[in-house]
Amino acid sequence: MTIRVGIAGLGTVGGGVLKVLAADAAHLAARAGRKDVKVVAVSARDKAKNRGVDLTSIAWEDNPIALASRSDVDVVVELVGGSEGTARELVSTALSNGKHVVTANKALLAYHGPELAAMAEKANVALKFEAAVCGGIPIVKALREGLIAYEISSLRGILNGTCNYILTEMEATGRAFNEVLGEAQRLGYAEADPTLDVGGGDTAHKLALLASLAFGTLPDIDAVDVSGIQNISPADIAFAAEFGYRIKLLGIAKRTSDGIEQRVHPAMVRARTPLAAVESSFNAVEVKAGEAGPFLFQGRGAGEGPTASAVVADIVDVARGAVSPAFGRPVAELKKPEKVMREGRISAYYLRFQVLDVPGVMASVSQHLADEGVSIDSMLQRGRSPGEAVSIVMLTHEAPHIAVERALKAIAASDKVFETPCMIPMETA
Ligand code: NAP
Ligand code: HSE
């Protein structure tokens, strides 16, 4: 039998999926054990836009929600984006009409995953989202199916291609953040609202989904502690290199005595380690899976080809009849995660201060840190500009987050300190 597909959204990802299905339908049908994998209907905003594929034999719906009610559609593929509005209505209508759904929409699932997964369970249809996390890397399938024998203790990774592209380019060229962001947008990596990328929100959406699959938690964006890369300067990247580190935006989820900790933040990662070597729009996820050992998944995390690859794999999975709980367990078994607060976290830190180059300023900064029990591992001051601003950079030994934050507040209050001090945790393990 033919599996009949309706696609909403024909942009970077949807356009890529159309191209793969147009070019390779026979091969994919054979892999799925079906007569054909056929796109029967599509929808986007602008019917006149060239999608690089002949659409004349495919029905066009001005309203994407109509795809969910077409009797000739078996699988609705949602590639519109956004956690509310069209995407949410399309997916919930499709599921309640008994259609399988494939989506790349991590924002939608991070906010409404449990409700949508429950609808899929009730209708006994698939809700698949491989493309929502790390583009072409099959990490969702790996966590849902491949790594279930042993308890997972932690996962951490580079989950956003836009941020990794920006940090890589800033390091390679010394260019500023905003210049490079525009490039990532032109390459099709960024979200419609790129503040989701650079503010860490997109990584948090993905982390909530990975944590759910790995630890059996409800995807819950409120349980993720998030900060982004907007304040990382070329100077921080250069100082990190001098100390033997690279700055990466990481998503980290781990078991702790307080529950499942989920956090997203820029981190100092030791140079020449596998994570530090992940460049450009590539993503990577390290998973510690008990006696199965540690794993490193790496590949292209954003853009047309990798993401279309993951969407097509899900469509073929559905065509093969793979229907199982979206998050690997029935929704009723998923547990609400607690937010593990950053204040109690212990870490070493990279600190940078812009200070007036006058005698005693270094001693004063060090004293404030000492007052909070924060011990300095190494430090450097670059340049000499008497009476002007210079950078002081310090690496601390492990200390409670709250103590470092208190010291920084006291330091920032000095009239010899300009700008908010920069504080980046070091991922030394
Ligand atoms: P995109 O290039 O902006 O494409 C969005 C598509 O949705 C466009 O075709 C647009 O129509 C259509 N659309 C928007 N609003 C619509 C509405 N109200 N009614 C009908 N169609 C509408 O976005 P994208 O990069 O492909 O991303 C799509 C989804 O994939 C998002 O959830 C995103 O988070 C996810 N994702 C993206 C990537 C990536 O690398 N780009 C990777 C993984 C996951 P027009 O073309 O006519 O304007
Ligand atoms: N904006 C996302 C990123 C797309 O840059 O990683 C892939 O999910």
Q: What confidence tens digit (pLDDT) does each residue in 239-296 have?
A: 999 999 999 999 999 999 889 999 999 999 999 999 999 999 999 999 999 999 999 9
The letter for the amino acid at 423 is M
Q: Whose CA is nearest to atom 7 of ligand 2?
A: 302
CA 192 to ligand 1 center in whole angstroms: 8
- Per the DSSP assignment, residues forming a β-bridge with 351 are 394, 423
How many whole angstroms separate alpha carbon 198 and alpha carbon 190? 9
Straight-line distance from the first to the last Cα atom of the chain, in angstroms, rounded to the nearest whole number = 51
User: Which atom of ligand 2 is nearest the CA belonging to 190?
Assistant: 1
Residues with C-beta less than 6 Å from any ligand 2 atom: 135, 160-162, 189-191, 197, 202, 301-302
Q: What is the CA(9)–ligand 1 centre distance, in A?
A: 5
Q: Model-level pTM?
A: 0.96
DSSP states along 147-183: T-SS---EEEEE--HHHHHHHHHHHHH---HHHHHHH
In the three-class reduction of DSSP (H, G, I as helix; E, B as strand; rest coil), residue 428 is classed as: coil
The backbone torsions φ and ψ at residue 179, rounded to the nearest 5 degrees and listed phi first, read: -60, -45
- Secondary structure E strands in 273-334: 282-288, 294-300
3-class state of residue 415 by DSSP: coil
Which residue numbers are catalytic? 206
Among candidates 260, 265, 206, which has minimal Cα distance to 230? 265
The residue among 218, 238, 85 whose CA lies nearest residue 170 is 238
Residues contacting ligand 1 via CB (< 6 Å): 9-14, 43-46, 49, 64, 79-81, 86, 104-105, 131-132, 135, 188-189, 191-192, 302-303, 307
C-alpha span between 238 and 271 (Å, rounded): 12
Pocket test for ligand 1, best of 88, 307, 312, 314 (most atoms within 8 A of CB): 307
DSSP-derived secondary structure letter, 217: B
In the predicted structure, residue 429 carries a pLDDT above the cut 80: no
Ligand nearest the Cα of residue 306 is: 1
pLDDT at residue number 330:
97
CATH number of 343-427: 3.40.309.10, 3.30.70.260, 3.30.950.10, 1.20.1050.10? 3.30.70.260
Indicate whether 384 pLDDT > 80: no
Residue 322: which pLDDT band, with cuts at 50, 70 and 90?
A: confident
Listed range (188-202, 203-217, 301-315, 371-385) with the worst mean pLDDT: 371-385
Q: Which residue type sits at 31?
A: R
202 Cα: distance to centroid of ligand 2 (angstroms): 7
HSE toward the beta carbon, residue 324, CA cutoff 13 A? 12
Nearest listed ligand to the Cα of residue 108: 1
Task: Name which CATH class applies to 139-300.
Answer: alpha beta
Residues with Cβ within 8 Å of residue 255, at least 6 apart in sequence: 153, 154, 215, 261
37-83 pLDDT per residue, tens: 999 999 999 999 999 999 999 999 999 999 999 999 999 999 999 99
**Checking phi first, is residue 290 left (phi over 0); if not, alpha (psi -120 to 50) or beta?**
left
- In 150-300, which ranges are E strands? 154-158, 224-226, 245-256, 259-270, 282-288, 294-300
> How high is the mean pLDDT of the chain?
95
Q: Which CATH architecture has domain 2-135+308-333?
A: 3-Layer(aba) Sandwich (3.40)
Domain positions in the chain: 2-135+308-333, 139-300, 343-427
Contact 302, 117 (CB under 8 A): no
Q: Which whole-number Å values give the CA distances from 384 to 40, 176, 357, 390, in the listed order? A: 68, 23, 7, 7
CA–centroid distance, 311 to ligand 1, in Å, is 13
Ligand 2 atom with least separation from CA of 104: 8
Ligand 2 centre distance from Cα of residue 162 (Å): 6
Contacts of 406 by beta carbon, 8 Å cutoff, 6+ apart: 372
